Chains A and B, each alone.
Chain A
């Protein structure tokens, strides 16, 4: 069983822990400039949006070249987005997304 990525987990934990601990252990250190805080708050949505887009739209061939893929994933992810936007319920959005994709494939629509 591979354990190589435990090293990556340790590194990821090493950069996560200070944000959790420093203000508790050294109050005042969290006082970043306002613009920096504003930027950091936007990183999460931007990264997650980019992850969703790349994983829905892009496929990479054996040569490493990226191509656009138009599949049922677009529709499924779109349904999830709509549900989260309206109902604020991510779990429901995921269930619907999975159902849409499974049904579309069962009906040979994708």
Chain B
């Protein structure tokens, strides 16, 4: 590790290899900073939406909302958590769903692990907490441009592009949401379902996802109407993928462009194992 905070040299088992080294550390970090701009914008926008949702649904205080963004720091599951709490879903079901929604991080962590072999284990344990879709995409592309790991670049990508903007925006959205008396008058009540639907569409990379979404929607509506609305989402989320698995896999031609959101202009060189696993939230 050098004085600039760079980590190990190119790991021999990194899947695709880094390609030729073309940029210096300074140039690579400047490129990283430019890449971060779009991510900061989209992260901030969605952080505001999350804070707004938490405030409008009335079940979250500011402390609880900020705790979600600091401790969980995973946008889709935070949105899901707000909705499920509002619906009265039992905590174990919410926790189960959170674990399933966030297990994709295994893939990111595994892809970054070879780059951070030389980093002390305690520091890696801290780095893991801020590993998000955005941090992964930005830092892996940065490492490949550089030809080696750069721990300072990772922190810059993870904290500067996502953690700080997400948490500040959460507070702004919460406080702003509290001051709006009739949010439906401004159409703000559709933000949450529209965001969830848009995120789902953004994750589609083939017909399996489409079938899983269709099945998840159908099952959740049937369960809500025939049984209990509080467990409808959990039922759709757990059973829908089983229906999706029954469909032969056929990937769309544009699988690498599958990330939605205004921050999607960021690097998407995320390796073969994680394509289709990203969403545009932390």
Interface of A toward B, CB cutoff 8 Å? 1-6, 8-17, 19-25, 27, 30, 32, 35, 37-58, 60, 64, 66-68, 72-73, 76-77, 80-81, 83-85, 88-94, 97-103, 105
Contacts and interface: CB of A to CB of B under 8 A. Distances in A.
B193 interface: yes
Nearest to B229: A66
Contact of B240 (A9, A50, A72, A73): A50
22 contacts: A1-B62, A8-B81, A11-B98, A16-B77, A19-B105, A24-B127, A30-B106, A39-B242, A43-B101, A45-B212, A48-B203, A52-B193, A53-B193, A53-B221, A58-B232, A66-B232, A77-B190, A81-B201, A98-B187, A99-B187, A103-B187, A105-B185
Contacts of A97: 187, 190-191, 194
A56 B236 contact: no
B236 A84 contact: no
Contact of B216 (A49, A56, A64, A83): A49
Contact of A100 (B62, B97, B187): B187
Interface string B172-201: 000000000000111111111111111111
B83 interface: yes
A66 to B, nearest CB: 4
Contacts of B73: 13, 16
Give the interface size class of chain B.
35 or more
A1 B196 CA distance: 28
B185 to A, nearest CB: 6
A16 B99 contact: yes
B61 A76 contact: no
B125 A25 contact: yes
A15 B121 CA distance: 20
Contacts of B261: 88-91
A15 B186 CA distance: 36
B45 A91 contact: yes
B225 interface: yes
A46 B129 contact: no
Closest 10 CB pairs of A and B: A46-B240, A50-B236, A46-B216, A101-B187, A47-B237, A42-B241, A102-B187, A21-B128, A50-B220, A15-B99
A10 B194 contact: no
B161 interface: no
Contact of B200 (A38, A45, A57): A45
Given A12-B71, A97-B190, A102-B186, A42 B221 contact: no
Interface stretch (B19-27, B29-37, B108-116, B143-151): B108-116
Contacts of A4: 64
B73 to A, nearest CB: 8
A39 B103 CA distance: 11
